[in-house]
Structure 1
Amino acid sequence: MQLNHYLNFQGQAEQAFTFYQNAFAGEVTFLSRYGDLPPQDGVILSEEDKQKIMHISLAITDQIVLMASDVNEQFCAQNNLPFIVGTNHYISINLEKHEQSKAYELFEKLSINGTIEMPLDKTFWGALYGAFTDQFGIQWMINCQLEDA
């Protein structure tokens, strides 16, 4: 299991991660934009939004990965989670494909009396993924890779 920090931005993720990459001398190991999303009913992205970061990972060491995305109102509005500087941070738990039962267990235990943002379920990127705010106001993401990335 790996615990990572996950940051949300309002259109500055790419600029911030260029800065962080320079500061940490790290390597961007993954980058996807909202324009890479498969088509979804009711979701229309502007050309500007298509260029924003849906997910970026910066490997700082073998064990430390800083991750982020640009918040997109079409996705966040449905969860009533507006972007607020100071609460734009998640703790991300990343598990290997053989740890699926651990992903379900942690999601169930940590989300007790919390607010589920996205139920733990299979995703288009080949993982089990879910997000929630726990009963103490801490935001969590659980990601269990099911397929080789």
Structure 2
Amino acid sequence: MKVNPYLNFDGTAEEAMTFYKSVLGGEFEGGINYFSEIPGMELPENEKNRVMHISLKINDVVTIMASDTSPSMGHILIKGNHNYVSLAPDSKAEGERIFKGLSEGGKVEMNYDKTFWGAYFGSFEDKYGIGWMVNYTLQPGEE
């Protein structure tokens, strides 16, 4: 299992991650995904170019991930919610087990479910106030 820091920004994720890349090196994996790419999503014009997801692979061990908040979707950056621990389990079942266990007694933000980007994903704040994301990328032939 990999554990990665996940940072949230209020409209400056691309700028910040580009800066981190200039200092730390590495490459963006999978390009930069914007909220405007979500199928069927109606967003205010000023939020369409906000980053839904960006991943900076610094080396084989360290990857920093990030996104912008989307105020129209109810996401508001509050100091303390700008950092998540992102887990990439080795299987869908392991992801489900981790999600269920760590979210018990906490506040689920997004249920662990299949996404349009080809993964099972869920996010929550645990009972201690720590933000977590669980993302299992589906392998070819998996549903």
- TM-score of the aligned structures, taking structure 1 as reference length: 0.88
1:9-30 Cα shifts (integer Å, max 9, x gaps): 0000011011000010111112
| Separation (CA, whole Å) in 2 of partners of 1:63 and 1:74 | 35
Query: Which runs of structure 1 show a deviation greater than 2 angstroms over 4 or more consecutive aligned residues?
Result: none
- Aligned match for 2:85, one of 91, 112, 129: 91
- Aligned match for 2:49, one of 43, 48, 51: 51
Task: Tell me the matched-pair count.
Answer: 139
The aligned residue for residue 2 of structure 1 is 2
1:10-53 Cα shifts (integer Å, max 9, x gaps): 0000110110000101111121011111014xxx2233311111
The aligned residue for residue 118 of structure 1 is 110
Structure 1: tracts of 5 or more residues without a match: none
Please give the secondary structure, in 1, of the residue aligned with 2:29.
Answer: strand
C-alpha RMSD of the superposition: 1.4
Query: Percent identity over the alignment?
Result: 40
Bigger share in helix: 1
Please give the secondary structure, in 1, of the residue aligned with 2:19.
Answer: helix
1:52-92 Cα shifts (integer Å, max 9, x gaps): 111000001112110000100132x2xxx631123311000
Distance 1:129 1:7, change over 3 A: same
| Separation (CA, whole Å) in 2 of partners of 1:110 and 1:23 | 34
- TM-score of the aligned structures, taking structure 2 as reference length: 0.91
| Separation (CA, whole Å) in 2 of partners of 1:89 and 1:72 | 15
